[in-house]
Amino acid sequence: MSRQVPTYELYGEKTGREPDFWVHCETIRSRSSLHQWEIRPHRHESFFQILYIEGGSGDAIFGEKSHAIRPPAIITVPPGLNHGFRFSRDIDGLVITLLRSHLSHPPGERSHLGEWFATPHLTPLDRDNAEAAYVMQTLKRLGDEFESRRSGRNEALAAYVALALRLTARISHEGNAHELAANENERRMEMLSELIQQHFRSHKPASFYARELGLSPTHLTRIVRSMTGNTPHELIAGKLVEEAKRQLVFTLGSAQEIGFRLGFADPAYFSRFFVKYTGETPRVWRMNEKVRLEGV
């Protein structure tokens, strides 16, 4: 039988009373230190929580999955989600609790932002990113404002909450988009590698590979440069050089014969091509490589 996950009114408390606040803010240290730095799995039916992790480390548990926390980061926890935390003793940051009814864009509302509010997120913050730095500054100001009793406090808190959530959602969305793009580019690079393996002896131009992948030559060049630092032409040439070296070491064919096998009709051109990428002629490279292997 699975263990029942308790429902708390506020972060470990169960008073049976209706909350008398719409926003609550405290340091993560002040509450987690009372529980040996571990907040066991629980849920809140009426609260949306924001954790700002400024220092330290730990793990966030959403349902059955654990996610490593590396500062600076924002964790958002929607109502009704089973969650828990393990923190290091040097944890530094804030936990902000909002009444679900006071969210300016409540979970379940039909929009991309509504979908983001309705699921948990651990969003890393890049200190060099202007918007991420602004989120961190905003949450620190929110914490200071919560402790004050100055005029316009509620209005300021509402503005800070709305701004921090929207910017965090944007950063999270852009981070996911970059991750998806990176995954797609990895897939394209795998396909390109397979195509080069099939066609490198035919000396197909980069435009051929771009067409096979459904990309423009410019787009293919951009992807290959970002993933390898080379151009598609350099990848193709590298494959030819790699195969030429393999055959020079492991076959008895002359440099001219190997050049023919690799699609070079002119032996002199094959020699110039090989020198360009290795600094040596095929014959000299073969001799030096054999000497090196004999000495191993």
CA nearest to 84, candidates 64, 98, 70: 64
pLDDT for 50:
95
pLDDT at position 1 = 36
Domain boundaries, the chain: 234-294
**Count of residues for the chain?**
296
The distance from CA 79 to its chain's CA centroid, rounded to whole angstroms, is 26
Angle at 99 between CA 97 and CA 105, to 5 degrees: 105
pLDDT, residue 110, reads 42
> Which mean pLDDT values do the consecutive 10-residue runs of the chain (296 residues) have?
59 52 92 92 91 95 91 93 94 94 56 71 90 94 92 93 91 73 84 95 95 93 91 95 94 94 95 95 93 77
- Specify the pLDDT at position 108: 43
Place of tokens 């032409």: 233
- Cα–Cα dist 131/135, whole Å: 6
Q: What pLDDT score was predicted for residue 258?
A: 96
251-258 long-range contacts (CB < 8 A, ≥24 apart) are 255/281, 255/282, 255/283, 255/286, 258/282
CA 132, chain centre distance (Å):
15
Distance CA 165, CA 154 (A): 16
pLDDT at 109: 44
CATH superfamily of 234-294: Homeodomain-like (1.10.10.60)
Q: What's the confidence (pLDDT) of residue 213?
A: 92
Identify the pLDDT of residue 183. Answer: 79
- Check if the beta carbon of residue 22 is closer than 8 Å to that of residue 48: no
